[in-house]
Amino acid sequence: MAIDYQREIEDPSTQERAVRITPVTPYYSYLMIAVLIGVFGAQVAVDSFDSIVLGGMRAPLIAGFYKEAFAGGDYWRMLTGATLHGGIIHLFFNCYALYVLGKLIELLSNRAHLPIIFILSAIGGNLLTYAVNPVGISIGASGGIIGFLGYLTVYGFFRRKVMSNSLFKNMLFNVVFIGFVGVYVIDKVDNFAHLGGLIVGAAYGFFQVPRDLYADPRIASEPAKIAGFAALGIFLFTAVVTVLLLFQIISF
């Protein structure tokens, strides 16, 4: 599949030029999905085979975003909780969303931004849900993944003149749909974690997506590439720490 960026015609007699985007292999998205699946395997090993469907309670208590423990100084839980899931259905939907949205970011922007958005949005989502309700446990990568949605919504809005308006409309529809499902359909959804992640992802897009319609958003500066690699390292390190915590090889 190829997507054309259509540049605005400055002279009607001039043939419209386009920048063709070639398909990319979403390596970062694949890696992040594989890591989440691996952590879920550790969860099952710790919580028993029955936890595959509904999830267990031991893993969330050990490494989830346990808000009372966070208030007591376990600040690392903001990230370890984002690598855990409440059953295989929860994992499947998050991995599917990560693949779809992550692939879009790697295609339309630069993959360096993917882990940065995830880490910042996961933290932002957990901080907001803690501020609204400082009691309970929250787990799942959706706060970080919803950050992708926020980023792509802003991206679609800023780039709507050089590509079709469908991206912006599609992302906006997904924002409304996820909000509707979280509020009216599934009562266990942490809507404030989603909202926090959405806001952070959108804010990142607001500052990162170029306003210049002739600038190629797929080009990342060297500092951005370094930051992206560092963020990916943080994600991988967090997953390793989560597994070590689950098996009680380390403790904090």
Which pLDDT score, from 0 to 100, does residue 207 have?
96
State phi, psi for 50 to the nearest 5 degrees.
-60, -20
In a domain, 136, yes or no: yes
In a domain, 186, yes or no: yes
Segment 72-104, tens digit of pLDDT: 999 999 999 999 999 999 999 999 999 999 999
Which CATH number is 151's domain given?
1.20.1540.10
The mean pLDDT value of the chain amounts to 89
In this structure, of 2-11, 52-61, 110-119, 143-152, the range with the lowest mean pLDDT score is: 2-11
Alpha carbon 25 to chain centroid distance?
A: 18
Query: Does position 227 have pLDDT exceeding 50, yes or no?
Result: yes
Domains identified in the chain, total number: 1
Residue 141's CB: how many other CB atoms inside 10 A? 28
Which pLDDT score, from 0 to 100, does residue 18 have?
42
Which pLDDT score, from 0 to 100, does residue 20 have?
59
What stretches of 23-87 show up as alpha helix (H) in DSSP? 27-47, 51-54, 58-63, 67-71, 77-80
The model's confidence at residue 134, banded by pLDDT at 50, 70 and 90, is very high
Q: How far apart are alpha carbons 251 and 192 in whole angstroms? A: 29
pTM: predicted TM-score of the whole model, two decimal places: 0.90
In a domain, 41, yes or no: no
As given in the structure block, the two tokens for residue 243 are 């597994």
Q: How far apart are alpha carbons 44 and 34 in whole angstroms? A: 15
Cα dihedral angle (72, 75, 80, 85), rounded to 10 degrees? 50
In a domain, 34, yes or no: no
Whose structure tokens read 């059953």?
87
In a domain, 72, yes or no: yes
Query: Does position 10 have pLDDT exceeding 90, yes or no?
Result: no
| Average pLDDT, integer, range 112-122 | 98
The model's confidence at residue 162, banded by pLDDT at 50, 70 and 90, is confident
Q: Which helix (H) or strand (E) holds 242?
A: helix 222-246
In a domain, 9, yes or no: no
Which pLDDT score, from 0 to 100, does residue 228 have?
97
Q: Which domain holds residue 59?
A: 47-246
Residue 72's CB: how many other CB atoms inside 10 A? 9
In a domain, 27, yes or no: no
What stretches of 81-112 show up as alpha helix (H) in DSSP? 88-108
Query: Does position 7 have pLDDT exceeding 60, yes or no?
Result: no
In a domain, 70, yes or no: yes
